[in-house]
Structure 1
């Protein structure tokens, strides 16, 4: 039986796109261990439609239950069960925080609980992960990351930096991307731009004109680690609008491979303004920085998008094809509705997209000697 707050197509609260999108994210997270479908449907039955207080209350309650199970399993030495429950608790705390105002104290309490679950997960993992602080800005603001060593602790391993948009927190990467990295023998640095700041700090981040410099800081940090093969460091910009990562790729010759939007959105904006104002010379249309596809990248770049996303696939193909004479190292993969993964940022099936992405990275970086 479909819960009352779900429509026939399994969308949650059609009048609230934000809650529907978050519910979809939670269901797809079940594929990677960030939720269970049964728990999500149970909560849907308890929720009042489009009611933010009940949304926050029910997901927080479920997060707490998973956290308690994790602690009990850890106390009895059942590390696998403890890790699984901490990952789910972490994700449910994130869901509880989602609809609240950025400055709401309840949101910060949920974020702190989510981060504590992430730290507990890292400590129980083998090899154990680390919480790392990376200096970035002159004003003292630092990046915060989770470093997850490759399954083989011997020697230097290829490493993938995973980062989202300003305001996106890194904890989701622990279940969404870390298993793909681990299975291919990669270490992973999960990173966000918020550092130790509250979510409302995103307003200050969006005013910065040097977001791409954060990637250089991350590379500086990785260069100091004796367990990182610095000739094989790649970056994955999770979420599609990742032009600040594309700009970093232009400026950072130490990156061996990149998965991002390739500056596609910047080029799309330039073309839109040109057509809107009947400009024949695209170069005079202002964009924040030079798009990656208009320049020569130092490393191979993969762009993935869904055909049902914000930018139409045919338009993306034309932009990429036009760039090919100047840069042949840019590849485009479009996921169709027939195969799923076709939604914006592959929200309907991120597992399928991430398998493709990490297979591509494995081809670019090579696999380590030992995998689990």
Structure 2
């Protein structure tokens, strides 16, 4: 842990701190790399210059960077990264290593593309889904729960890449099938997860309250706030299961731009995340089974920025985890794309260059990556992607993403805050340290690394148990271990 500043958390909290902006680890993975690292080329850094898309079309050429550790699943980096999350989920029972490896071998044998990936994982998901249905009919609840969780995870693998395939128009249906498997699994735990609706303006947010047992007592509760593309089954792996293991309640929910709010209700992400979290906190504090003074908040991936924004205005949180620390989400987008907004460019200029000079040059891999990353910010972008078209309002996208910047308000956070960052972070490199320095509350910074049992790369996809052991050991200091 860093040397404390005045008012910092002086608890003993082991941490290795790397230098801000340090070179990434042996492999920068996934769509994070495609978005951040010049995947669109350098030619658009100045207004008026077009740029040539160079992200991998399908099938992709081999990635020149070394393999992860002793193995490599795919040469295409984004396929590799997503699959590492599925492998990591095996530790919490939402995947089976043998099933994943068999699917990976089949995909590589056919030639790894978005299409072959989705086709193969969908076939696996459907097979496991049928196993779950048969087990449930036969009264084998544990077997059914396991299979429904795994099926949800494999459908989730498909959901991320479906916009890059001929099945792009089926995105909402694929989400619904995945969610159905997750929902069925939640009702087969020894203590079923409670389906909830959180009042949200004139509407509601869907979610689940997870409790470790049926006792009617007030417990500390951890809100697990997923990121820009995680689903409920991911949030279970990334904090929900760890909370239950420690005797806490966990709240998993879908906010604007997430899950069913995006895919089915077409409600876009919003930057003022306190308007989301405050209703969630209100709801929890109204319940007899929640200790209203011990409610914590974890923000995953891009929501590492959003939970800091929320905590700057919502001061009833016992603790906050920005996982990883994010200050400015716009910096995760390619410099070449951000450059279109430079030098006082107008909306008309940006969109003209985007539509006339850029879109025609985009390679298939670029088109998929940009469509996927844009869809949560406006239903127009999502519907265009489902129709196989590239969105045309780059100006609107840029304005939406640029508002995801908690820097101006981070000093207003009063809750104790843990900031994490990851070796080889390809999406928000250096921003964890930046956020830590901006905070004026009690705080801690933890660096995850290769040496710490494979917890490198954005969100530590391979090691959720090690990752959340660190997070929850810190939370125990404020919520009180039971």
Query: Which of the residues 462, 465, 472 maps onto 1:351?
Result: 465
**Which of 273, 290, 294 does residue 232 from structure 1 map onto?**
294
User: Kindly tell me: are residues 23 and 49 of structure 1, through their superposed partners in 2, closer, same or farther at Cα, counting changes over 3 Å?
Assistant: farther
Report if aligned partners of 2:135, 2:141 keep a CA contact under 8 Å in 1.
yes
2:116 aligns with one of 43, 54, 59: 54
Q: Please, what TM-score do these two structures have when normalized by structure 1?
A: 0.81
Q: Which runs of 5+ in 2 are unaligned?
A: 1-61, 343-401
Tell me the distance in 2 between the aligned counterparts of 1:319 and 1:75.
51
CA contact (8 A) 2:320 2:416 kept: yes
Secondary structure of residue in 2 paired with 1:177: helix
By relative contact order (CA 8 Å, sep 6+), the higher-ranking structure is 2
- What is the deviation of 1:248? 0.7
Q: CA deviation at 1:162?
A: 0.5
Aligned to 1:281: none
Work out whether residues 197 and 207 of structure 2, in 8 Å CA contact, stay in contact via their aligned partners in 1: yes
How much is the aligned-residue C-alpha RMSD, in angstroms?
3.1
Gaps of 5+ in 1: 278-285
Task: Determine helix, strand or coil for the equivalent of 2:268.
Answer: helix
Contact 1:134/1:217, CA 8 A, preserved across alignment: yes
Question: Structure 1 CA distance, aligned partners of 2:133 and 2:319?
Answer: 39
CA contact (8 A) 1:246 1:261 kept: no
CA distance in 2, matches of 1:52, 1:93: 14
Q: Which one of the candidate residues 51, 64, 67 is aligned to 2:129?
A: 67
Pairing of 1:166-205 with structure 2 (within 5 A): 166-193=228-255, 194=258, 196-199=260-263, 205=268
Q: Is 1:119 matched up with 2:193?
A: no
1:23-34 correspondence to structure 2 within 5 Å: 23-34=83-94
Counterpart check, 1:301 vs 2:389: no
TM-score after normalising by structure 2: 0.64
Residue 218 of structure 1 aligns with which residue?
280
- Per the TM alignment, residue 256 of structure 1 is displaced from its structure 2 partner at its CA by 0.7
Q: 1:331 is matched with which residue?
A: 444
Q: Is the 8 A contact 1:264 1:293 kept in 2?
A: no
- For 1:280, the equivalent position in structure 2 comes to none
Other structure's SS at 1:185 match: coil
238-247 vs 252-261, greater mean Cα deviation? 238-247
Quote how far apart the aligned CAs of 1:51 are.
Answer: 2.6
CA deviation string 1:248-294 (max 9, x = no partner): 1111121111111586423996xx99xxx9xxxxxxxx975653885
Tell me, in whole angstroms, the C-alpha distance in 1 between the residues paired with 2:248 and 2:447: 25
Cross-structure match for 1:13: 74
